[in-house]
Structure 1
Amino acid sequence: MLRYLFHRLWQSAVTLVLASIVVFAGVRALPGDPALAMAGEEADAETLAAVRAQLGLDQPLPVQYLKFLGNAVTGDFGRSTRTGTPVTEMIGTTLPVTVQLAVYAMLIAVLAGLLLGVLAAVFRGRWPEWAANGFSLFALSVPTFWLGILAVVYLSVQLGWFPASGYVSPLKDPLRGVYYLTLPAVILGLSHAAVVQRQTRASMTGTLTADFVRTARAKGLGRGAVIFRYGLRNSLIVVTTIVGLQLGGLIAGAVVTERIFSLPGIGKLTLDSVFSRDYPVIQAVVLVITFAYIVINLLVDVLYTVIDPRVRVSGRSR
């Protein structure tokens, strides 16, 4: 186990370095000049040169990258060229909002997806399966931004059931915090619930028709025990993989939802930074999201052995 973890950590470090190179090169390929955005359109050549020297943009690209990588290892991402605020402080303020939204949305997606997936697998060819498949088709087909706008117009403005915008930290006021995050989390989690539902249904359908399940039924095991002890448990490996990948996607894909509901998360910070050519913030945000992906994938691999002891991290059977 320790050897496997060491191997995965080494792979993760290599992935982070490669991601940092791609991010560094991609950010500098964006059109526009951050020094010009910081100094103003009417700045003269001397002022622009001074700003570039202050930002380190006058140095060769390899030197800029090594400096950026060394600072990132120590957690120093520099200061925002737009506000002058330390990037670490900006991420520390906005990232918890996005994490709370993503975890809440994934919780909704997992509960709804597992429930509908189990119903679709158990009641094959009957109306519960049709209803579950219809939900997944709707959730996957409708764009998130359009569904979010409709939710704001009808559920918030006309009916007044939920706030149209704003954020309250659940750590300070749990009830109000959950209330403000409920509608954005539902909108964000719908498409992910559809993915969980489809995977759960497909996995459980194969499991419930397996020979060992028929044997368990022939020995008199109850229907509920067959469904949950054999069907659902053997389907959790596939579902765990999907949930791990979807959680990373939720953190990265919350940009639209945060924009619609005016949530002060990392999605809004990313958009503002891209529009203002704020190199340090963009680089830091992408690296943080990449790191989150890596950590989540590592946790998913470790969970395999907890869900099913037959699965070995070496990939070889006993």
Structure 2
Amino acid sequence: MKIMRRAGIEAAKLAVVLWFVSVFAFLALRLTPGDPAVLLLGPQAGRPDAAETLARLRTEMGLDQPWPVQYGIWLGDILRGDFGVSSRSGVAVVELVAGAVPPTLFLILGAVLIAVPLSIIFGMAAAYFRNGIVDRAVRLVTTLAIAIPAVWLGLFLIIIFSVTLDILPSGGFTSPFDDFGEFFIQMILPVTTLAIFLGGVLTRFVYAEASDVLRQDYMRTALAMGISTPRRVFVYAMRNAVTPMITIVGVQIGALVGGAVLVEAVFGLGGIGQLLLSSVLNRDYQVVQGAVLLTTIVVLLVGYLADLAYRLVDPRITE
């Protein structure tokens, strides 16, 4: 019952957060200089006879209404499942976002699948050999992994593996359902770029948790009982040190989405990041609002499910 009550409270909090995000997404572009109707019309907007056309465009886009009215109409459409249509391409926002999801999804999923097991191995090793050469090496590498900007790292990998060695492509995206081999090769560099950052964060977390666990009384008792080192470290200690990672990975998904925007731009993957960037530059209100809101829903939902899973695995935290 405690878990269900807690889940209900967290769901209510998510609803409030989504409302604030919707307000922010609505106001963000409207507070920036420029007229979307002028951008949409292009060079013809400067002609003397363009005033009537601009007025018609503003009416069609709802820009002639006060902001509260525009927001109310937009939010009502969202609640009915209508995220609108792109003012530039005329394509439904949901369709545009759905087409941009696969590159971003595979990028983040690949980074998680690589970073999680490696962070557990290196974090546990550094904690076990605390203050030794392994500990110092892992801490140095993780510090660099967290500190180096994704853009620089991506460009560095392109220079080394695409330009100098010419063994990996510098960009592009092919669906794994069309050509898995090409997809795998194209995703090596972008996934590595994102996984390095995530691995640095998670390794630091596992290291801190494992260092604390290894100092607990029950670990000293296990040593006194003659339990082997591999069993003590990789069964008892690792289980307690790694369990909290469920929540951390869920939280880091949000950071990965932000990092994916930069990585996609560097490697030309054509995912959510590039869709948002081009839509912001073109002042395409409907696409930006819909993409931001849909992405936020997914990120919050993943974090919510991760937190719920952690509470189910370790019910003590609900007490």
Fold shared per TM-score above 0.5: yes
Residue segments in structure 2 that go unaligned for 5+ positions in a row = none
1:77 shift after superposition: 1.6
1:219 shift after superposition: 1.3
Is 1:276–2:282 an aligned residue pair?
yes
Inter-partner Cα distance in structure 1 for 2:13 and 2:152: 39
* Equivalent position amino acid for 2:111 in 1: A
**Equivalent pair of 1:199/1:238 in contact (CA under 8 Å):** no
Task: Identify the range of structure 1 (191-200 vs 225-234) with the bigger mean alpha-carbon deviation.
Answer: 225-234
Aligned to 1:266: 272
1:229 shift after superposition: 2.2
Name the count of aligned residue pairs: 313
Is 1:21–2:23 an aligned residue pair?
yes
Inter-partner Cα distance in structure 1 for 2:110 and 2:75: 33
Inter-partner Cα distance in structure 2 for 1:9 and 1:171: 35
Inter-partner Cα distance in structure 2 for 1:20 and 1:200: 35
Is 1:142–2:142 an aligned residue pair?
no
Aligned to 2:314: 308
TM-score, structure 2 normalization? 0.93
1:125 shift after superposition: 2.1
Q: Percent identity?
A: 38
**Equivalent pair of 1:200/1:235 in contact (CA under 8 Å):** yes
**Equivalent pair of 1:75/1:88 in contact (CA under 8 Å):** no
Residue segments in structure 1 that go unaligned for 5+ positions in a row = none
The Cα offsets for residues 56-102 of structure 1, whole Å up to 9 and x where unpaired, read as 11112111111111111233221112222111110000012101101
1:37 shift after superposition: 0.7
Aligned pair in 2 of structure 1 residues 12, 60: CA closer, same or farther (>3 Å)?
A: same
Inter-partner Cα distance in structure 2 for 1:232 and 1:307: 15
Aligned to 1:294: 300
**Equivalent pair of 1:149/1:260 in contact (CA under 8 Å):** yes
Please point out which of 53, 78, 85 is paired with 1:79: 85
Is 1:192–2:198 an aligned residue pair?
yes
**Equivalent pair of 2:162/2:170 in contact (CA under 8 Å):** yes
1:181 shift after superposition: 1.0
2:28 counterpart SS class: helix
Inter-partner Cα distance in structure 2 for 1:48 and 1:276: 16
Over aligned residue pairs, what C-alpha RMSD do you find? 1.5
1:275 shift after superposition: 0.8
The Cα offsets for residues 168-196 of structure 1, whole Å up to 9 and x where unpaired, read as 11233333322211210111121111111
Is 1:33–2:35 an aligned residue pair?
yes
Aligned to 1:11: 13
Aligned to 2:61: 55
Please point out which of 106, 110, 123 is paired with 2:112: 106
Inter-partner Cα distance in structure 2 for 1:80 and 1:310: 48
Inter-partner Cα distance in structure 1 for 2:270 and 2:142: 29
Please point out which of 130, 138, 143 is paired with 1:132: 138
1:170 counterpart SS class: coil
Kindly report which structure 2 residues correspond to 1:214-225, keeping only aligned pairs within 5 A, or say none. Answer: 214-225=220-231
Is 1:92–2:98 an aligned residue pair?
yes
2:316 counterpart SS class: coil
* Equivalent position amino acid for 2:313 in 1: I
Aligned to 1:170: 176
Inter-partner Cα distance in structure 1 for 2:284 and 2:215: 55
Aligned to 2:4: 2
**Equivalent pair of 1:207/1:230 in contact (CA under 8 Å):** no
Inter-partner Cα distance in structure 2 for 1:290 and 1:233: 31
The Cα offsets for residues 114-161 of structure 1, whole Å up to 9 and x where unpaired, read as 121111011112221122112112212222111111111110122122
Inter-partner Cα distance in structure 1 for 2:199 and 2:178: 28
**Equivalent pair of 1:252/1:289 in contact (CA under 8 Å):** no
The Cα offsets for residues 30-54 of structure 1, whole Å up to 9 and x where unpaired, read as 2211111111233221111000001
2:273 counterpart SS class: helix
**Equivalent pair of 2:102/2:271 in contact (CA under 8 Å):** yes
Inter-partner Cα distance in structure 1 for 2:168 and 2:105: 21
Inter-partner Cα distance in structure 2 for 1:66 and 1:217: 64
